[in-house]
Chain A
């Protein structure tokens, strides 16, 4: 589904590009190409950026494809892309492989992604610890009473297993970041194919609990404040709490270049950190990074 939409978008972009490409070829100015590939989480953001950047810089052509963080980094190591999108940091093995080929991947944080845990607005539960959420999703708690709510069954909602958010939630929340922890989602966790499905069910169902990217959560649902451990303070996700790292379920999104970025790629990366590009981040439901001083050109 997502692939198809992406493909359509790419086609659209391509068709939108063609007339200007022919006109620019008639000019002496040469067209620079940037190949951008990787994480499916970032792909919509990267597309929005590319679209805006190309409209401002007609001499630059950016092609964006998804495929997953691993695919993007592999392509970077093989030298087929200029920029790899990743919703996780580069793995040790990948780094070794890159260095063996004489490539030194440089990491750039481009945005952040907070995951909000949501319930029906009439649900009295409004604070949970990470451990409690883990126990809910692993099937240890099956009634809201056990965590200070009403006597109701808990209906667990999750994204499909192919979603990067699903895997991130599994690693960070269910397994509490512990690599040796082999906890799994309870089998009766509902796997819904879209964010919309999760939000729609929570809106109607007092029993339900779900999670989703902060930007996708509408205002009429209740967002749970989360504590890292029992006794720690409960924190609601927001741009501020994500940026000061007090909200525990948030991750950085990255772009990698092979060695220090040069030329058009460097200019593009720099633009990505600009307020204009970061405004697009907020619009798409991600958390803009607090602007670190951008090196002046």
Chain B
């Protein structure tokens, strides 16, 4: 009896540990795979050509700068929409809205998060992009802006859901203390609750960025996919081609082991490194903040 319990304990502990380690293993394997398939690019294409402004694989032009600029402009645009909107919604739900409204809003937002991005892509192609063309008098509505707005919409539920959890976890005593000191409701939210939930809110934003930069289908449908290097501020109102859309559009037809194939993996590697950089930057930020807070407290 006792022995079998021990035995079960042993199995369960190992299984749980294996699950934990598997995340590291998978990331490691993916990184290794990307390196193996992507690095040969550096031997096949001179760096100057790789970081040039023309992407046209049919004629062996492999300049990835337009793709990087396309991804950045769409992601930054999406964040400009999603971060204020997402955090605002989270604050409303957790701090302002009455309990019953929150009980309705939360599942609705999570439902929104579960919408397949292709569906949003359809909405974008049939509703958003014609609207943008007419409203802003653009030559075409299939622009980086359409992609940014759509991605913003896709990232909002992620941000709301996580930021709201973080705000909710702030002890009630903080708010009570602030209010007792004579702070207004807004001052409480802005100076006390939000800073207290900072790391959770930041995680929410990070995951939102991750969702946005990795999103493929919706972006491919509405951004027009023209590999134009964004050099001016109005590039937001012109077509753009993102890294993810390029990989998705071209991977299916490429001959395995060719230069084009390696370049597509190289783009994947660049995407991976960008996500990594965002994550590292954000977690260092959170870490620093914590240390300072600890210092003050001690």
Contacts and interface: CB of A to CB of B under 8 A. Distances in A.
Contact of B56 (A3, A184, A190, A207): A184
Interface string B211-231: 000000000110011111100
B171 to A, nearest CB: 50
Contact of B224 (A68, A152, A162, A190): A190
Contacts of A152: 139
Chain A, interface size: which category? 20 to 34
A10 to B, nearest CB: 15
Contact of A191 (B125, B139, B141, B241): B241
Given A170-B58, A188-B239, A201 B126 contact: no
A201 B225 contact: no
B142 A161 contact: no
Interface stretch (B17-25, B109-117, B247-255, B289-297): B247-255
Given A3-B252, A197-B125, A188 B228 contact: yes
B58 A188 contact: no
B252 A190 contact: no
A160 interface: yes
A190 B239 contact: yes
Contacts of B133: 204-205
B253 A40 contact: yes
Contacts of A192: 142, 224-225
A204 B142 contact: no
Given A188-B226, A207-B139, A166 B250 contact: no
A162 B226 contact: no
Contact of B249 (A40, A190, A193): A193
A161 B221 contact: no
A68 B253 CA distance: 8
Contacts of A167: 58
A188 B249 CA distance: 17
B226 A184 contact: no
Nearest to A1: B252
Interface string B39-63: 0000000000000001011110100
A128 to B, nearest CB: 19
A251 B125 CA distance: 31
10 contacts: A1-B252, A2-B252, A155-B140, A187-B228, A191-B225, A192-B142, A192-B224, A193-B220, A197-B125, A197-B221
Interface of B: 54, 56-59, 61, 66, 125-126, 130, 133, 139-142, 220-221, 224-229, 238-239, 241, 249-250, 252-254
- 6 pairs of A and B residues whose beta carbons are closest in the complex: A162-B253, A190-B224, A153-B139, A191-B225, A155-B140, A188-B226
